[in-house]
Chain A
Amino acid sequence: MNHRLSGLLIPAAAVVAALLIGALMILALGANPVDGYRELFIGAFGSGDALADTAVRAMPLLLVGVGICVAFRAKVINIGGEGQIIAGALVSTVTVLVVPGLPSLILIPLVLVAGMIGGGFWGAIPGALKAYLSVNEILSTIMLNIVAVQIMNYLLRDPLIDPEEIERGTRIPQTERLSENADLPILLDGTRLHLGVVVAVMAAVVAWAFLWRTTIGFKVRAVGQNPAAAGYAGMPVKRMTLLALTYSGAMCGLAGAVLVFGSQSHRLITDGSSAGFTGSAGFNGIVAALFGGLHPLWTIPSSFLFGGLLVGANAMQRAIQIPSALAVGLNGLVVVFVVSSNRIRDRMRQRSELAAAARALARREAEDEQHTDDIGGKVVA
């Protein structure tokens, strides 16, 4: 198969396969999959409101994905997005509670920076452990997710809890309604599209520029490509590893701040789990980054598409009344099929390249033989 054609057909086929399996599951539940997928598409992309909801849902995926891109360029794996989102949300929330009266022009940038500081700190911990103590960052980031959740639960049940919850005796783990000066402005009246989406896109562009237009970004990539060679060339390998995870954490922390101040409740709420606040953005962002080829700019459309799948699946669930677990399962199917199709495509490309190399080698040998014959002929002559 033509290489270019296969590059399009195989992932398209993977998506279709995932949707077909999803259709079988919907059928098994007694619902109409055509109606379901129509509602999925309309719910994700079928109106201005839907597009706005998709963009809002995509925003944390994009920010986490950008962080993942930077970390992976340094060949470190950040699975701590959930905890870093929470850390960023907590620091930004505390910031607003301390200085609620600042004008929006100051308070909004302040909370976003506070979120980055919180998430960056939470990412720096496993970064330092990895760089200076060779602690496996997969383990440390995952463990720190659990620590962050427990810290959030404690803070939201005691020091940060809404005083009205204490008064009523209900004790729901949430903060009070945070200062309106920190609300992220709505960009389109009548929709939920807020400034956080713009911030996320800008963060992706900045990350691209950081990695490919700055010296320090070059060092990060060099360390990722070959730490030994980078170290031999005098680059600070350990510092770059620490920087990559700190940067990654900062992006996740920024997502946490935007989740709080762009939310519909304008407060930090939990149900006791991390996903109750983050919506699993810390993990879904990894998928978005993979879909985007671990490139910050390509993570923008991949986050949007994946966000659309999440929003559309919820709309489908409401419309045809299938269990919400199926909507979650459908997203998982798409991820599994599309990521698996990469392997098929890569193998086909490898085989194609090997075949091309073999043909080139055969041609070269034939040419060499011909050249030798020519020389031999002239000598004889």
Chain B
Amino acid sequence: MTTKPRWKLLLALFAVLSVLGAACGDSDDNADDDGGDESVTETEESSDDTETESGDDAAGDGGSSDGIRIAIVAPSAENDLAFTQSIVEGVDALNGVSDVAITPGTFVVEDAATAIRNYADEGYDLVIAHGSQYGGPLQEIAKEFPDTAFAWGTAEDTFGLDNVSSYTAAADEGGYVLGALAASMCSKIGVVGPIAVGDAKLYVDGFTLGAEDNGAEVDVVYTESFSDTQLASETASAFVQNGADCLTGTAQMTVGAIGVAEQEGLLWFGTQSDQTPAAADGVVVANQVYQWEFVLQDLVDDVVAGETGGNIYGITLENSGLAIDFGSVEVTDDMTTVVDDTSAAVIAGEVTTIIDG
């Protein structure tokens, strides 16, 4: 391998970047303004006005009359049919929002921290840190931007800061209902879990209890990764070899497991988002869908009114933040009865949906 210094290469690289920078023409004084005005995108549901006055503000100002600007930092793709898609769809459904910017795929916590900080610096009114692992840096960054509202999910902690709200999902509730439904259709169920934290653990617990309470055998494996779809696929294959006739799982890596379910002709039970499009007809039985707008609208209304948050929100079956939607299988009366009766029992507190320890 050559060892000659590559000073010409480095010089060339720097020269190209310098030429590009000169050709682009913006001065430093305008950089923040342009970054604020242009570092946005609008979703189809947002209002038409994308230009705001707050591009050069270091903090949010409660938004313009057309609504507030929201930024989302999330660990996976915005169309992952799971965790990130749920928050994107939830924000898209909100009223009082003029712009939405998204930084997906930030599984590196430090990159997410940089994105959160930059959005706050660019004057976004509400910065949503959609990942439990973002709590550490958020706790430090939020203190530096006291006039910017931050939301952290899924979590139930605001660090005692007035400008941090948190939101969580009682995923165990919907998990229990789906587990009960699965037990009525399957005898052996494989559960592909990511890491046993947050709403992932809640869902797995709830599903396991719901299925076992109704007579099904359940095997659970945590792959120790939120994003490794190949590992999820291999885990699902192992379940199939062990005789599973239904599968479920949570987090963005489940698309790998859904593929195995489709390939092997098994039934799938989804969570976080509607996972029906991920497989052919007849595979996805039902989904627990997170409808974050049911709680985030309150937060947005507070921010529009000039407040910065400090509350904890949770979506549950009772407040309709969690919805059980059927997928692409033929829905029978029995299935509907199981879902309705089990949901009522969960809401009434008649069943245990969380495994201690």
Contacts and interface: CB of A to CB of B under 8 A. Distances in A.
Contact of A8 (B12, B107, B195): B12
Contacts of B15: 8, 12
A72 interface: yes
B6 A173 contact: no
A305 B3 contact: no
Contacts of A44: 17
B204 to A, nearest CB: 13
Interface string B173-208: 000000000000000000000111110010000000
B74 to A, nearest CB: 10
Interface stretch (A133-141, A237-245, A316-324, A352-360): A316-324
Contacts of B108: 275-277, 279-280
A299 to B, nearest CB: 10
Contact of A35 (B38, B40, B228): B38
Contacts of B105: 323-325, 328
A272 interface: yes
Contacts of A302: 6, 10
A263 B39 CA distance: 24
A338 interface: yes
Contacts of B141: 264
Interface string A229-241: 0000000000000
Contact of A273 (B4, B106, B197, B225): B225
Interface in A153-202: 153, 168, 170-174, 177
Contact of A321 (B41, B109, B157): B41
Contact of A293 (B5, B40, B155, B226): B5
B9 A264 contact: no
A37 B113 contact: no
A45 interface: yes
Interface string A1-27: 000000111011001100100000000
B103 A293 contact: no
A38 B14 contact: no
B1 A46 contact: no
A315 B35 CA distance: 9
Contacts of A39: 35, 38-39
B8 A11 contact: yes
A305 B156 CA distance: 40
A41 B17 contact: yes
B197 A47 contact: no
Interface residues on chain B, size class: 35 or more
Given A264-B114, A271-B133, A37 B106 contact: no
A249 B108 CA distance: 22
A276 B20 CA distance: 32
Contacts of A41: 17, 20-21, 24
A120 B304 CA distance: 53
B38 A264 contact: no
Contact of A72 (B1, B137, B139): B1
B340 interface: no
B225 A37 contact: no
Contact of A342 (B2, B35, B113, B121): B2
B111 A279 contact: yes
B113 A318 contact: no
B219 interface: no
Contacts of B352: none
B24 A34 contact: yes
B10 A305 contact: yes
A232 to B, nearest CB: 23
Interface hub of B13, B21, B41 (most chain A Cβ within 10 A): B13
A315 B104 CA distance: 12
B12 A12 contact: yes
Contacts of A15: 12-13, 16
A48 to B, nearest CB: 8
B12 A11 contact: yes
A374 interface: no
B101 interface: yes
B334 interface: no
A168 B157 contact: yes
A15 B20 CA distance: 11
B278 interface: no
Nearest to A297: B5
Given A170-B132, A172-B133, A272-B224, A263 B103 contact: no
Interface of B: 1-17, 20-21, 24-26, 28, 31-32, 34-35, 38-41, 75, 77, 101-111, 113-115, 117-119, 121, 132-133, 135-137, 139-141, 155-157, 194-198, 201, 224-228
List the 10 closest A-B pairs by CB distance, nearest first: A324-B105, A265-B136, A38-B24, A321-B41, A12-B12, A265-B137, A264-B113, A293-B6, A11-B12, A41-B21
21 contacts: A8-B11, A35-B38, A37-B24, A39-B35, A41-B24, A73-B3, A259-B110, A263-B109, A264-B113, A264-B117, A271-B107, A272-B226, A279-B110, A293-B5, A298-B6, A318-B118, A320-B38, A321-B40, A323-B105, A324-B104, A324-B106
